[in-house]
Amino acid sequence: MGKDVIIACDFSSAEQVFSFLDKFTDKKPFVKIGMELFYAEGPSIVKKIKERGHKIFLDLKLHDIPNTVKKSMAVLSNLDVDMCNLHASGTVNMMKAALEGLTRPDGSRPLLIAVTQLTSTDQESMENDLLIKEPIEKVVMHYAKNAKAAGLDGVVCSPLEAGKVHENCGKDFLTVTPGVRFADGDIGDQKRVMTPAEAKKIGSDYIVVGRPITAADDVVAAYNRCVEEFVG
Ligand code: C5P
């Protein structure tokens, strides 16, 4: 599994995302399409970006009863995405159903990764709102192990957790890590950040980078810098 930089294309219209992607005339980066763009433009945006030669991580974070997730995953698999995700809190049965739905008649399927606890959830909100009293690090690792047991390919996690996830779930279990910033860049609203080089050192398999690339003066140079630091 090759290490790669995934650009978070957090735009709200096709026009914006295409004017951004038009700048990449040489290499076609792996891109993440999130809920904002998908809900604004519908499934056709996935097909259009795919036709331009990009790999796609469709970040829709499914969470529903197993049968609904299975059928929805079959639809996403037909869109020919390369990676998609769900919430591990939907249970092991839901994750197994998702894998069944994703698998195409020829046995191929997109990579499937799980969100453990969102990084916006802290110990206090987990205890008070969700009534989960265990330490958050233990909950994150437990959910990662559930994802592995269900047959998933990996988890989305902080780069700071990537090493521990590999220790617990094996080095082939993918860690896809947002919260990446250049050493000389703005951290914005991210709290716990790492540089691409640090993320590489700790063993992240994919880094997800948004504003350090999308808001840069020269977006192609910022992307190339990420690739150089992370992939080498
Ligand atoms: O602009 P920035 O680099 O912060 O973008 C990071 C991307 O990763 C965004 O699309 C954000 O929603 C996503 N993400 C995150 N933290 C998580 C899960 C996803 O920042 N725990």
Using the atom order of ligand 1, give the atom closest to the CA of residue 181: 3
CA of 10 to the centre of ligand 1 (A): 9
Q: Is 34 close to ligand 1, i.e. is its CB under 6 Å away?
A: yes
For the stretch 185-191, contacts whose Cβ atoms lie closer than 8 Å and that sit 24 or more positions apart, written own/partner, are: 185/212, 186/211, 186/212, 191/119
Specify if 197 maps to a domain. Answer: yes
Q: What is the largest CA-CA distance in the chain?
A: 50
CATH number for position 226: 3.20.20.70
3-state secondary structure of 31: strand
User: Which residues carry out catalysis?
Assistant: 61
Specify if 138 maps to a domain. Answer: no
Is residue 155 within 8 A of residue 144, CB to CB? The reply is: yes
Q: What is the chain's pLDDT, residue by residue, as a tens digit (232 residues)? A: 679 999 999 999 999 999 999 999 999 999 999 999 999 999 999 999 999 999 999 999 999 999 999 999 999 999 999 999 999 999 999 999 999 999 999 999 999 999 999 888 899 999 999 999 999 999 999 999 999 999 999 999 988 899 999 999 999 999 999 999 999 998 888 888 899 999 999 999 999 999 999 999 999 999 999 999 999 8
Structural domain for 18, as ranges: 4-111+176-230
Specify if 224 maps to a domain. Answer: yes
Specify if 156 maps to a domain. Answer: no
Q: Is 56 close to ligand 1, i.e. is its CB under 6 Å away?
A: no
Domain count, the chain: 1
Q: Is 211 close to ligand 1, i.e. is its CB under 6 Å away?
A: yes
Q: Is 187 close to ligand 1, i.e. is its CB under 6 Å away?
A: no
Specify if 78 maps to a domain. Answer: yes
Specify if 158 maps to a domain. Answer: no
3-state secondary structure of 232: coil
User: Which parts of 96-194 are beta strand (E)?
Assistant: 111-115, 154-156, 174-177
Specify if 133 maps to a domain. Answer: no
pLDDT of 16: 97
Specify if 47 maps to a domain. Answer: yes
